[in-house]
């Protein structure tokens, strides 16, 4: 298809993948518009040449009055705000008149706003908690997810487990595309140099375990911190780099102090994606303690940098890690088994080296963004073809 006139992309631009999606669209099409609400501040993930449309949040009654009118039901207040946002979004789309609308996250986020606008063709992305957790916790989220999937012409997901989940929510299998992310293999490789970071930490002669997940309940980072005392007893030279941030960060710092391991742990905060490979390069083992996930970009980045991985035994991780071959799968929330597997890797150089080589090979074969982005292009083309049919 020739370059389209307008593609509207709706999401908060706070992820490296928003940047990559937008760059990919800009490469193939003209006039890309990024739409998001003004108070959700854009960071550094908007490529040059992409036009931004910042929407103003709806005026709402003061919170105490709103809660009184809603019978003190906070969920009702959230629904009202979401519906008002959706109406503002719909007016924006009507004025913009794009040729394709793309929105991400199903449950009360931009994909839902897109669906409620009634616009076609519509492509939506479902990436994790919006299909694996939220629809099971709340009938409202379940309803929103089902509605959004029904209205979409095309649905992209990052893992087979997410495909199964959207089908279970009533989505027609024929319109689902599995797009397993991908990473920049020129940036993430075993040849990155993080020696200065290691010197700054004072860990030149230490073995390093690294976590790069953000500090929210879903990612279970506290289970790694709880495992540290056991690991230190068996591997006294082990040190722990816990990257990322979030609402639980201060609690994690306090936990490390209570456990008496604060001198063995560093919390550098959220590291820019351009610098992340240098941190991964100084590590000996990568750990992810997530309770739920789609394809994890953090996991793919660590694999590409040649790290053996200890990750939770959840479906999406099993699509990348074969237990005992290129890493270990451990039960979620089990700090004892997690510690045992980390200790085993730290004490066995040969096993680590074998897993390292296999992970580099897997990342080259399956996690190259330059190859995987072709699936995204195909999903976009599918949306154009299917856009006239609202009965999928």
Q: Which residue has the higher pLDDT, 41 or 244?
A: 244
Question: Percent of the chain having pLDDT more than 70?
Answer: 91
Residue 75 has pLDDT above 70, yes or no: no
Mean pLDDT of the chain: 91
Residues 189-198: what's their mean pLDDT?
92
Task: Label residue 335 by pLDDT band (50, 70, 90).
Answer: very high
Residues 158-162: what's their mean pLDDT?
95
pLDDT of residue 84: 87
Domain ranges of the chain: 7-182+369-386, 195-366
Strand ranges of the sheet holding 265-269, from the earlier edge strand across to the other edge: 265-269, 238-243, 207-211, 285-288, 309-312, 327-330
| From the candidate CATH numbers 3.40.50.10800, 3.40.50.2000, 2.40.50.140, 3.30.420.10, the one assigned to the domain spanning 7-182+369-386 | 3.40.50.2000
- In the chain, the N- to C-terminal Cα span, in Å, equals 23
Residues 161-189: what's their mean pLDDT?
95
Of 352, 16, 392, 30, residue with least CA distance to 182: 16
pLDDT of residue 390: 42
Do domains 7-182+369-386 and 195-366 share one topology? The answer is yes
pLDDT of residue 368: 96
Residue 64 has pLDDT above 90, yes or no: no
Task: Label residue 39 by pLDDT band (50, 70, 90).
Answer: low
Of 54, 158, 58, residue with least CA distance to 105: 158
Residue 360 has pLDDT above 50, yes or no: yes
Residue 392 has pLDDT above 50, yes or no: no
Residues 298-324: what's their mean pLDDT?
97
Q: Are 48 and 58 in contact (CB under 8 A)?
A: no
Strands (E), 99-206: 100-104, 122-126, 154-157, 176-178
Q: For 83-109, write each residue's pLDDT tens digit.
A: 888 999 999 999 999 999 999 999 878
CA distance 169 to 149: 8
Residue 6 has pLDDT above 60, yes or no: yes
pLDDT of residue 40: 59
Least confident piece of the model among 42-46, 301-305, 326-330, 341-345: 42-46
Residue 391 has pLDDT above 60, yes or no: no
Residues 355-383: what's their mean pLDDT?
96
Can you list the pairs that 16-25 forms with residues at least 24 positions away whose Cβ atoms lie under 8 Å? Answer: 16/45, 16/273, 16/297, 17/181, 17/297, 18/45, 18/46, 19/44, 19/45, 19/46, 19/47, 20/369, 20/373, 21/102, 21/376, 22/46, 22/47, 22/50, 23/47, 24/373, 24/376, 24/377, 25/102, 25/380
User: pTM of the full predicted structure?
Assistant: 0.89
CATH 3.40.50.2000 for domain 195-366, yes or no, is yes
Identify the residue whose tokens are 């193939």. Answer: 28
What is the β-pairing status of strands 32-37 and 7-10? parallel
DSSP 165-184: HHHHTT--GGGEEE----B-
pLDDT of residue 62: 54
Strands (E), the chain: 7-10, 32-37, 51-55, 100-104, 122-126, 154-157, 176-178, 207-211, 238-243, 265-269, 285-288, 309-312, 327-330
Bridge partners of residue 239, in order along the sequence: 208
3-state secondary structure of 336: helix
What is the β-pairing status of strands 100-104 and 32-37? unpaired
Residues 22-49: what's their mean pLDDT?
85
Residues 256-271: what's their mean pLDDT?
96
pLDDT of residue 82: 84
CA distance 265 to 157: 35
Q: Are 42 and 13 in contact (CB under 8 A)?
A: yes
pLDDT of residue 80: 77
């Amino acid at each position: 298809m020739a370059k389209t006139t307008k593609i509207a992309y709706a999401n908060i631009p706070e992820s490296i993948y928003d940047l990559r999606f937008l760059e990919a669209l800009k490469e193939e099409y003209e006039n890309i518009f990024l739409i998001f609400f003004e108070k959700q501040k854009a960071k550094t993930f908007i490529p040059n040449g992409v036009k931004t449309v910042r929407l103003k949040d709806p005026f709402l009654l003061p919170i105490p009055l709103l809660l009184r009118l809603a019978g003190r039901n906070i969920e009702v207040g959230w629904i009202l705000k979401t519906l008002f946002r959706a109406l503002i979004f719909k007016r924006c789309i009507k004025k913009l008149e794009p040729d394709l609308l793309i929105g991400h996250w199903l449950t009360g986020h931009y994909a839902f706003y897109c669906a409620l606008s009634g616009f076609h063709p519509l492509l939506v992305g479902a990436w994790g908690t919006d299909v694996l957790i939220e629809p099971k916790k709340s009938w409202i989220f379940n309803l929103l997810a089902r509605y959004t999937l029904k209205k979409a012409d095309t649905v992209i997901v990052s893992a087979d487990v997410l495909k199964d989940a959207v089908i279970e929510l009533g989505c027609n299998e024929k319109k689902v595309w599995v797009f397993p992310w991908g990473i920049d293999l020129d940036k993430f490789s075993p040849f990155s140099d993080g020696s200065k970071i290691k010197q700054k930490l004072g860990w030149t002669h230490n073995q390093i375990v690294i976590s790069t997940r953000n500090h929210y309940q879903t990612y279970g980072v506290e289970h790694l911190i709880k495992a540290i005392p056991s690991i230190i007893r068996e591997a006294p030279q082990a040190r722990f780099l816990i990257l990322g941030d979030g609402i639980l960060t201060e609690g994690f710092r306090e936990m490390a102090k209570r456990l008496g391991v604060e001198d063995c742990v560093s919390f550098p905060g959220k590291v820019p994606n351009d610098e992340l490979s240098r941190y991964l390069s100084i590590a000996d083992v990568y750990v992810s303690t997530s309770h739920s996930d789609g394809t994890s970009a953090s996991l793919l980045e660590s694999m590409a940098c040649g790290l053996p991985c200890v990750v939770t035994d959840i479906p999406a991780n099993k699509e990348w890690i074969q237990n005992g071959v290129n890493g270990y799968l451990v039960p979620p929330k089990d700090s004892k088994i997690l510690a045992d597997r980390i200790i085993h890797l730290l004490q066995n150089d040969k096993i680590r080296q074998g897993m390292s080589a296999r992970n580099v090979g897997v990342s080259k074969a399956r996690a190259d963004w330059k190859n995987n982005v072709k699936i995204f292009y195909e999903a976009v083309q599918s949306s154009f073809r299917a856009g006239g049919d609202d009965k999928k």
